[in-house]
Amino acid sequence: MVKRKKFATIKDVADASGFSINTVSRALSGRGYVKKETKEKILRVAAELGYTRDCTASALRTRKTHLIGVVVVDNTNPFYAEVIKGIELEARNYGYTILLVNTDRNYENEEKAINTLLQRRVDGLIITAVQTRIDDILRLVHQGIPNVVIGARFENIPTNYVCSDDERGGYIAMKYLLDTGHKNVLFLNAQKYKYAARVREQGMRKALNEYELTLENKVEFGVIYSNEGFENAYETFQMFLQKTKKDFKYDAIICYNDIFAYAVIKLLKEHGLKIPEELSVVGFDDISFSSIIEPPLTTVATDKIRLGREAFKSLIKNIETGSISQIILPVELIIRNSTKNRSNGNP
């Protein structure tokens, strides 16, 4: 086995170049005055020795690690994967590196994750919270540790968040279904402790209210709640189908996210129901598979990469200036083939 060589230090560079440790430090970091030739020589010697600065040492001294913690429910979920990508991309631009920890949708893991990241003295944290409890995040805010929450809003707390305009998302999804003549809409929602779950439903009800005010038309709206993940959604919807059986009357199903929609589509196919002929399906998020699934999914899209980038920029701003930013990104309805117009002639 090749023995791991010790890294050269600035002291080694100092000795080899004949300058003092301090001069070397200034030459390498670019801070402070160094004569041009001196700097050149030092850089040359450093390169010869294969010098690589030791971040652990400078972090100790400067109290800045240029590390940020990213706490995520599950990096495998395409939504979070893209968010992570956005964060990582922007972080790299700014000379930061990300520490990634999964919580597997478990609040205790989230707490532990935050603690280890704090021990590692990350300069800040970006968190997609489990949301069953939020004490850990409140603690961060309380302690003045820079952090940004993605995908949830805490209205009364002065903290950074970045999320999509979920209310509008719910609104435009429902409005579209109403405009295209749907009369019985089911919302397969996530559990209500999730911010987005509550707010998307609100948006849908808002669209319903407006609609029913305008026309004298009756529209049925049902909501059921499922835990996250394909399997859970599949099971929940399956049980719902079994229970309602012949009473099942919906002509449209909105799903909390695209994964839920895939589960719904799969089940509807298994029951021989044709999409969109008999039933429309709408998702949320527009993850990449939604355009290639059968049928291509109509869905409320957000720019997930941007969500990540904005989160990082918001964090950096908070770290550097202490300012708080609360960002809501726009959503957009992508109409594909899982929905169809059922209005008979009317616009």
Partner DNA sequence: TTGAAAGCGCTAACAT
Partner DNA sequence: ATGTTAGCGCTTTCAA
Chain residues binding DNA by CB under 7 A are 6-7, 9-11, 18-23, 25-26, 28-29, 31-35, 38-39, 51, 53-54, 57-58, 60-62
Among 102, 189, 257, 298, binds its own copies (CB under 8 A): 102
Instruction: Calculate the dihedral angle through the C-alpha atoms of 82, 332, 217, 340, rounding to the nearest 10 degrees.
Output: -80
Choices 41-49, 135-143, 206-214, 219-227; region in contact with its own copies by CB under 8 A:
135-143
CA distance 194 to 173: 19
CA distance 315 to 83: 14
CA distance 208 to 43: 68
Which one of its own copies, DNA, none is in contact with 21 (Cβ closer than 5 to 8 A by kind)? DNA
| H or E stretch at 147 | strand 147-150
Edge-to-edge order in the sheet of strand 252-255: 220-226, 184-190, 252-255, 280-285, 298-301, 332-334
CA distance 327 to 300: 18
Which one of DNA, its own copies, none is in contact with 25 (Cβ closer than 5 to 8 A by kind)? DNA
Residue 25 or 147: the one with the smaller Cβ distance to DNA is 25
Which one of DNA, its own copies, none is in contact with 20 (Cβ closer than 5 to 8 A by kind)? DNA
How near is the Cβ of 254 to DNA at its closest, in Å?
51
| H or E stretch at 200 | helix 195-214
**By CB under 8 A, residue 57 contacts its own copies:** yes
Which one of its own copies, DNA, none is in contact with 192 (Cβ closer than 5 to 8 A by kind)? none
- For residues 253 to 272, the per-residue mask of contacts with its own copies, x marking binding by CB under 8 A and - elsewhere, is ---------x---x------
CA distance 158 to 161: 10
Which one of its own copies, DNA, none is in contact with 345 (Cβ closer than 5 to 8 A by kind)? none
**By CB under 8 A, residue 334 contacts its own copies:** no
CA distance 3 to 178: 69
Residue 213 or 292: the one with the smaller Cβ distance to its own copies is 292
End-to-end CA distance of the chain: 75
Question: Do 123 and 146 contact (CB within 8 A), yes or no?
Answer: yes
Question: Do 220 and 183 contact (CB within 8 A), yes or no?
Answer: yes
Choices 17-25, 79-87, 197-205, 211-219; region in contact with its own copies by CB under 8 A:
79-87
How near is the Cβ of 263 to its own copies at its closest, in Å?
8
**By CB under 8 A, residue 10 contacts its own copies:** no
CA distance 107 to 132: 7
Which three-class secondary structure state does DSSP give residue 36?
A: helix
Closest-CA residue to 326 (of 88, 171, 148): 148
Which one of DNA, its own copies, none is in contact with 300 (Cβ closer than 5 to 8 A by kind)? none
Question: Do 201 and 170 contact (CB within 8 A), yes or no?
Answer: yes
Residue 118 or 329: the one with the smaller Cβ distance to DNA is 118
Among 40, 239, 289, 343, binds its own copies (CB under 8 A): 289
Among 38, 116, 184, 337, binds its own copies (CB under 8 A): 116
Choices 11-19, 85-93, 175-183, 199-207; region in contact with its own copies by CB under 8 A:
85-93
Using CB under 8 A, list all residues that contact its own copies: 1-5, 7, 52-57, 59-60, 65, 67, 70, 74-76, 78, 81-82, 84-85, 88-89, 92, 97-102, 115-121, 141-146, 158, 230, 262, 266, 288-289, 292-294, 322-324
